[in-house]
Structures are given as C-alpha cells and as structure tokens.
Amino acid sequence: MIDAIVEGDVLKAVTKAMVALVSEARFHFKDDTLHSRAVDPANVAMVIVNVPRDSFEVYKVDEEKIVGVDVNRIYDISKSIKKGELVELILENETTLKVKFGSVEYSVALIDPSAIRKEPKIPNLELPAKIVLDAGEFRKAISAADKISDHVIFRSDETGFYIEAEGDVDRITFHMSDAELIEFNRAEAKSMFSVEYLKEFMKVAGTGDILTIYLGNNYPVRLIFDVADGKAKVEYILAPRIEAE
C-alpha cells in the first residue's frame, strides 16, 4: 500500500517531463524518492526524474514498488489540477493507481512493468563544462534557433556560453557571459544537438527555474532542470548529432 500526497504542479511537471520522450514508463516508489527513467524510442535521449521524499506532504511507502504507468494518461489528468491544489496518489493493488484531487478520484489502470522497455543505467559521462542559468533564457534561445534550423551548437569557453544556430541564410548566436550565468567553470566544450528534442525539453521549465548544463566535446549533454519550485528534478541526457561530413 502506497499513499502519497504532493502538490499538483509536481505531478504535472514530472509527467510532462516523461511525456516528452515516452508514452509508458516505470515509476519506482522508493523509500526516499519517487524515481523514473527511460530512453526514448529512437534511442537518442534519456529522461531521469526524481522527486525526493521531502517534496511530498505525505509519503507512505510500506514496501518499495515498481509500477508501469501510461504517462500520457496521467499527464492528461494532471492538466486539470488547479494550481496549488494537492493531489493524492494511492496504490492499493498492482493493477490500479488512484489519483485524487479536489472532489475527483481517477482510477488509472496500470501496465505490467515487464511489458515496458527495460530501464537504462545512468551513463558515466565525462563532461568538462558546467553551466548554470535561468531556464527561461535557455527557452528563449531554443525557440529562436528552432525558427531557422533543425540543429544547434552548444559551445563554451572562457568568454562564456554560446548557443548557435545556422539556417540557409540567417544565423543566430545566443551568448551569456560569466557574469550573466549563475555558475560557470569556463571549461572548453562544443557539441551539436537536435532542436527537435531540446524544444520538448524546455517545455518542462519556465522562467525562474534553474537549469544546469553539463557539456562535453561531441558528447551527450546533461540538462538538469529544477522544476516545481525545486521540488522535483528532471534530467535529460541527449546524444549529439552526427556531424555532416
């Protein structure tokens, strides 16, 4: 038996983060966190979601449990939760999850976890550059890049952090210097990524949320968003584009 009460925004953020990549996922109700991770069907990106126990109003887990969830459904449901409203998740048996908020109670059928793609390990990546910035700024840069190209270059050196996109005729450069960034280690790194994915990722966070980027050379990028007032952590790992010859 699992009983958890949390702010609706947290559930919304978490499911939204998963929906960007997969339609079904396994959720672990661990003693200290609610955790989930999955690789997208094209094997290009991974999402890792963590909600620590402290973020819950109530978190009662008699026994650690893995459940298979249709995240699209839960995300749809969570959209109707009002801001600031609390939502209760109840798991009494293996087959249904109850989602209660306000005067509504949804019973959502669960998926046999063995039918869902097995979970990835979290890769060990050597990523020299660490950039911390406001997610809102990042969002602006990606939206601009999306208008002219399907890929962007993330670059960092001692002068700052750059997001560059090149279209057929136009070019966009987004630059933040050390002073504008929340945290920056001035390391050199450069990789190219698909806008298609970044576009989905940035939807999970808004202005005021903190985004931490770990960047390498022709290597995957880690994007860690602190969402829902820092109550949940969403991490994306995105493989780089293959450079054109």
Partner 1 sequence: MEPVESVEKYRPLWVEKYRPQTLKDVVADKTIIEKVTAWAKKWQSGGIQKPLLFGGPPGIGKTSLALALANTFGWEAVELNASDQRNWQIINRIVGEGAFNQTISDEGEFLSTEAGKLKLIILDEVDNIHKKEDAGGEGALIRLLKKRPRQPIILIANDPYALSPELRNLCDMVNFKRLDIRRIVKVLEKICSAEGVKADKKVLEAIVRNAGGDLRAAINDLQAIAEGREEIKIDDVVIAKRTQESDVFKVMQKIFKTYSTAVHNEAMLLDESPDDLIMWVDENLPREYIGEDLLMGYKVLSRADIFLGRVRRRQFYRMWKYASYLMTVGVQQSKREIRKGFTRYQRPSTWQMLFRTRSMRERLKSILTKISRYSHLSTKKAYSEMYFLLRKLISEAEIPVAASISAFYDFSEEDLVFMTGDEKRAKEIAEYIAKYGLHRVEDESFLSTFDRKVEAVEGVEEELERFEKKEDDEEMEEAVELKQEDSKTRKRAKKGKTKDATLDTFFS
| Site residues for partner 1 per CB under 8 A | 39-46, 94, 117-123, 125, 193-194, 196-197, 218-220, 237-242, 244-245
Whole-number minimum distance, CB 46 to partner 1, in Å? Answer: 5
Nearer to partner 1, 62 or 196 (CB): 196
Which DSSP symbol is given to 111? B
Nearer to partner 1, 54 or 245 (CB): 245
C-alpha–C-alpha distance, residues 153 and 173, integer Å: 10
Amino acid at 188: E
Cβ-contact 153, 190 below 8 angstroms: yes
Nearer to partner 1, 162 or 219 (CB): 219
Whole-number minimum distance, CB 117 to partner 1, in Å? Answer: 7
Q: Cα dist. 218→150, 221, 242 in Å?
A: 17, 9, 9
Cβ-contact 143, 125 below 8 angstroms: no
Nearer to partner 1, 129 or 181 (CB): 129
Whole-number minimum distance, CB 136 to partner 1, in Å? Answer: 25
Nearer to partner 1, 148 or 210 (CB): 148
Whole-number minimum distance, CB 82 to partner 1, in Å? Answer: 31
Residues 6 or more apart whose CB falls under 8 angstroms from that of 112 comprise 68
Nearer to partner 1, 8 or 113 (CB): 113
Q: Is 121 helix (H, G, I), strand (E, B) or coil?
A: coil
Whole-number minimum distance, CB 239 to partner 1, in Å? Answer: 4
C-alpha–C-alpha distance, residues 66 and 88, integer Å: 18
DSSP assignment string, 140-206: HHHHHHHTT-SEEEEEEETTEEEEEEE-SS-EEEEEE-TTTSSEE----EEEEEEHHHHHHHHTT--
Whole-number minimum distance, CB 216 to partner 1, in Å? Answer: 10
